[in-house]
């Protein structure tokens, strides 16, 4: 299996200049090749005998002209332009597979990065060796011990990072009791089927006032001035801190869940559809994106694979909130989002909306396990066990990077 460890770099001023040059070369190679790609494609439309562009031809063309027209690209590692053009080819592959949009030209300061293959860098404790730069200090040691695959150097909020991919042997699942749990995701809380409620940090909402003031300050600065550049860095730092708080909560919770349960059932939410623009939806869309649903599922799945936990995804149309977990009868009530509790008209059971949904997801996981394995524990189907509602408050570490 492949794992990546993202570590903050501690470069000096000279090393920062080199890294910024490498970002610029990678960005230039991408934009130059995209322009060439567009021109060649237009020519192929007018003359069918001409070949259509591809990633290999784009690299050959750039290597042919770089020494005569762009000799300054030699000042940095050869991997910077090479991998940048390869990423352009992957972008077009995703376009043809209908998994992405048409590639756009890159702008300075937006997702600056360049890649290195495993022959172009070395790791020695808390240092990394980059070609034509030398050893650069790392904030921590690489936590994985395996074959180095590649490294991606990036910059965000005026900080430099390197993400190192490592090939590891398939992990041996740790023995754990057969414990099935359902997880209901919400914009304010994430609920487990045993009644545990985790309050989401809502980091964007809590920092929205600070972010608004910094953006207002940025809008008043003269374009091209040093003060505008400083204000822009403050806005970037605010976004960076918000993302770190959100990811810190998600990492801690997903790790606890895969260690606690042998089987986890979650909802197959279509976040892209949930956040479509619409009347009276801007506030809800903002809260949904702030809840990190897609990242929660991604982390849960790769951590489950490493811990031997089974993930079951319920169909997005599964009415987990409307089914009574006591009598399994679907209610005819219109349960709008502001309704947090309801009473079943069939058996009279009172339900907390999210706990009831989590219990139904657990039942869905039990039925899936039975159909797949043909066996289950009777304790997993005992609905008479009282559910104790407990609130778990997790400390959010500001500035934490993963």
> What percentage of the chain has pLDDT greater than the value 90?
49
Q: pLDDT tens digits for 21-44?
A: 999 999 999 999 999 999 999 998
Helix (H) or strand (E) holding 306: helix 293-307
Whether residues 136 and 233 share a domain: the answer is no
Residue 376, pLDDT above cutoff 70: no
Residue 374, pLDDT above cutoff 50: no
Whether residues 147 and 269 share a domain: the answer is no
Whether residues 329 and 230 share a domain: the answer is yes
Whether residues 162 and 220 share a domain: the answer is no
Residue 173 within any structural domain of the chain: no
Structural domain including 146 reads 2-167
Q: With b meaning 16 or more CB within 10 Å and e meaning fewer, what string describes 12-51?
A: eeebeebbbbbbbbbbbbbbbbbebbeebeeeeeeeeeee
Whether residues 308 and 232 share a domain: the answer is yes
Question: Which one of the listed residues 194, 241, 248, 354 is annotated catalytic?
Answer: 354
Residue 400 within any structural domain of the chain: no
Task: Copy the structure tokens of residue 68.
Answer: 């005569």
Closest among 220, 327, 311 to 266, alpha carbons compared: 311
pLDDT score of 339 = 78
Asked whether 132 and 77 are in contact (CB, 8 A), the reply is yes
Mean pLDDT of 274-288: 69
Question: Which one of the listed residues 192, 194, 241, 267 is annotated catalytic?
Answer: 267
Instruction: Average the pLDDT over each of 160-174, 254-268, 307-321, 367-381 and give the range with the smallest value.
Output: 367-381
Specify whether 267 is catalytic: yes
Task: Copy the structure tokens of residue 144.
Answer: 């994985």
Q: Which residue has the tokens 């060649």?
A: 40
Whether residues 13 and 158 share a domain: the answer is yes
Specify whether 354 is catalytic: yes
Residue 402 within any structural domain of the chain: no
Residue 194 within any structural domain of the chain: yes
Q: pLDDT tens digits for 193-240?
A: 888 889 988 899 899 999 999 999 999 999 989 999 999 999 999 999
Specify whether 140 is catalytic: no
Residue 308 within any structural domain of the chain: yes
Question: Which one of the listed residues 112, 184, 192, 194 is annotated catalytic?
Answer: 184
Q: pLDDT tens digits for 154-180?
A: 999 999 999 999 998 887 766 666 788
Which residues have CB under 8 Å from 248's CB, separation 6+? Answer: 396, 397, 400, 402
pTM of the model: 0.79
Whether residues 206 and 230 share a domain: the answer is yes
Residue 288 within any structural domain of the chain: yes
């Amino acid at each position: 299996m492949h794992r990546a460890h993202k570590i903050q770099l501690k470069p000096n001023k000279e090393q920062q200049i080199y890294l910024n040059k490498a970002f610029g070369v990678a960005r230039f190679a991408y934009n130059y090749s995209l322009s060439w790609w567009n021109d060649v494609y237009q020519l192929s439309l007018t003359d069918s005998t001409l070949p259509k562009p591809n990633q290999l031809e784009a690299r050959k063309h750039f290597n042919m002209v770089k020494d005569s027209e762009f000799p300054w690209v030699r000042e940095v590692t050869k991997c910077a332009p090479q991998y940048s053009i390869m990423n352009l080819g992957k972008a077009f592959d995703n376009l043809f597979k209908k998994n992405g949009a048409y590639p756009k030209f890159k702008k300075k300061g937006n997702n600056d990065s360049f890649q290195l293959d495993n022959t172009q860098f070395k790791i020695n404790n808390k240092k990394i060796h980059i070609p034509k730069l030398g050893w650069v200090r790392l904030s921590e040691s690489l936590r994985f011990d395996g074959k180095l695959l590649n490294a991606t150097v990036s910059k965000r909020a005026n900080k430099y990072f390197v993400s190192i991919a490592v090939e590891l042997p398939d992990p041996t699942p740790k023995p754990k009791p057969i414990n099935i749990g359902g997880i209901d995701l919400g914009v304010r809380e994430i609920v487990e089927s045993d009644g545990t409620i985790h309050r989401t940090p809502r980091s964007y909402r809590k920092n929205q006032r600070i972010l608004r003031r910094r953006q207002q300050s940025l809008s008043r600065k003269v374009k091209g001035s040093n003060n505008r550049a400083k204000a822009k860095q403050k806005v970037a730092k605010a976004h960076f801190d918000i993302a770190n708080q959100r990811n810190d909560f998600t990492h801690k919770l997903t790790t606890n869940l895969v260690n606690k349960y042998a089987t986890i059932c979650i909802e197959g939410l279509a976040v892209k559809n949930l956040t479509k623009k619409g009347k009276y939806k801007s506030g809800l869309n903002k809260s949904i994106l702030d809840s990190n649903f897609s990242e929660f599922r991604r982390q849960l799945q790769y951590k489950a694979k490493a811990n031997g936990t089974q993930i079951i995804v319920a169909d997005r149309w599964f009415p987990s909130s409307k089914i009574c977990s006591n009598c399994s009868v679907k209610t005819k009530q219109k349960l709008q989002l502001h309704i947090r509790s309801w009473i079943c008209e069939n058996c009279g059971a009172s339900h907390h909306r999210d706990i009831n949904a989590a219990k139904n997801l657990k039942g869905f996981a039990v039925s899936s396990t039975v159909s797949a394995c043909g066996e289950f524990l009777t304790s997993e189907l005992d609905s008479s066990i009282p559910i104790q509602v407990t609130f778990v408050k997790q400390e959010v570490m500001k500035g934490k990077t993963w």
